[in-house]
Amino acid sequence: MNEELKNEEPKAFTTPCYKLTQNHFLYNTMPSTLLHPLIEAAYRVLETGEPISQAEALQLADLPGELALDLGSLANKVKNRYASETEALHACSIMNAKSGVCAENCKFCAQSRHNHADVEVYDLVNEESALIEARNCMAEGVTHFGIVTSGYGYKKINPEFLRILNMIDRLHTELPNLHVCASLGMLGEEPAAALAAHGIAHYNINIQVAPDRYHALIADTHTVEERIATIKLLRKNNISVCCGGIMGVGETMQDRISMIFALQELDVTVIPLNVLVPIDGTPLAGKEPLSVADIVKTFALCRLAHPRKTIKFAAGRETIMKDFQGLLMLSGANGYLTGGYLTTRGRDVADDRHFASQIASFN
């Protein structure tokens, strides 16, 4: 991949673009078609399952919007071949188990006490409330349920953390088929080891943006290095890490690519991609949305850099992307967050299930 390729005119295929398999025999009979040479070269990911390089991603990101669908189409094929779920799509739900008055100053967040958003404030919910939410989640056919708390996190095991551990145990006992996940902020050695012992399916902690832009774009009351240290601790304890980012907070496409490749280095298991939902009372209220083509490209490049990972569309799917959410789900994602977010409502889970079954017809 080099500068010449980038400037080369699209040309007709003269040879098959990738090796044919029994399951993909139709490509054998496809007529020659036009693809940009950079995208044509990236088709090798489909053949080999090996990710694109960061240099390639930067060049692909520069392609005009009219080629975003070609890139999305390749990403969807890579997803089908290397990351199809047993279910049509990986779906999970979260519960805001402790809300508001967070001392951190994340610019996008309604729960920061530095911001002035109208948000519910409550301490850690009791086990019964968590159980009701988890039962509803399972009744809707969603098998992954995340307990999310506002705040910096837990460097030590304190009484509140012990209550969370008891909550996790209770959910396991009463709903043995439920995968219990958690997102509790930064962790110290002991809390991380305790979560491993209590059988967490995934732990969510996002790096949000390119690590070197975290301080400017997200928060300065804590550092991205503290987040990365928690991710390393989770991996040391064999806890599967769910870690991704947010788009539309003022970052550039290059920043997004840096984030995607930082996630590759951290070797996370699940990558949630969020689109900013600008909330009144936060510094990002009224922020102009990104172009859909740029978001499609980001999803597609994330898939091409992580051919085998679970990539989940989290916040912003229904609220911001509206008509385009299906397009984004066909640009490399193989999972989604359903049933509402921490401080904003989502779509009905039943509607999402129908949506997921329609998306599956592109598999």
Report the nearest approach of ligand SF4 to the CB of residue 68 (Å): 30
Q: Does 96 bind ligand SF4 (CB under 6 A)?
A: no
Q: Three-state SS for 53?
A: coil
Q: Three-state SS for 198?
A: coil
289 vs 275: CA distance, rounded Å: 9
Q: Does 106 bind ligand SF4 (CB under 6 A)?
A: yes
What is the DSSP pairing of strand 34-35 with strand 11-12?
A: antiparallel
The number of beta carbons lying within 10 Å of the beta carbon of residue 299 is: 27
Report the nearest approach of ligand SF4 to the CB of residue 106 (Å): 3
Residue in 337, 253, 234 with CA at minimum distance from that of residue 300: 253
Stretch that binds ligand SF4, among 85-93, 101-109, 162-170, 254-262 (CB under 6 A): 101-109
Report the nearest approach of ligand SF4 to the CB of residue 115 (Å): 8
| Residues 146/181, Cβ–Cβ less than 8 Å | yes
Report the nearest approach of ligand SF4 to the CB of residue 296 (Å): 26
Q: Does 279 bind ligand SF4 (CB under 6 A)?
A: no
Q: Does 203 bind ligand SF4 (CB under 6 A)?
A: no
245 vs 285: CA distance, rounded Å: 18
Among 59, 93, 96, 111, binds ligand SF4 (CB under 6 A): 111
Report the nearest approach of ligand SF4 to the CB of residue 111 (Å): 4
Task: Compute the half-sphere exposure of residue 148: CA atoms within 13 Å on the CB side of its CA.
Answer: 22
| Residues 251/209, Cβ–Cβ less than 8 Å | yes
Amino acid at 88: A
Question: Considering only residues 226-245, where is the footprint of ligand SF4 by CB under 6 A?
Answer: none
Measured over the CA atoms of residue 213, residue 215, residue 218 and residue 222, the dihedral's sign is positive
Select 109 or 164, whichever has its Cβ closest to ligand SF4: 109
Among 38, 57, 94, 109, binds ligand SF4 (CB under 6 A): 109
Q: Does 112 bind ligand SF4 (CB under 6 A)?
A: yes
Q: Does 102 bind ligand SF4 (CB under 6 A)?
A: yes
Report the nearest approach of ligand SF4 to the CB of residue 224 (Å): 12
Mark residue 306 as left, alpha or beta (left: phi above 0; alpha: psi -120 to 50; beta: remaining): beta
Count interface residues toward ligand SF4 (CB under 6 A).
9
- What's the DSSP call for residue 32? P
Question: Considering only residues 117-176, where is the footprint of ligand SF4 by CB under 6 A?
Answer: 150-151
Return residues touching ligand SF4 (CB under 6 A): 102, 104, 106, 109, 111-112, 150-151, 185
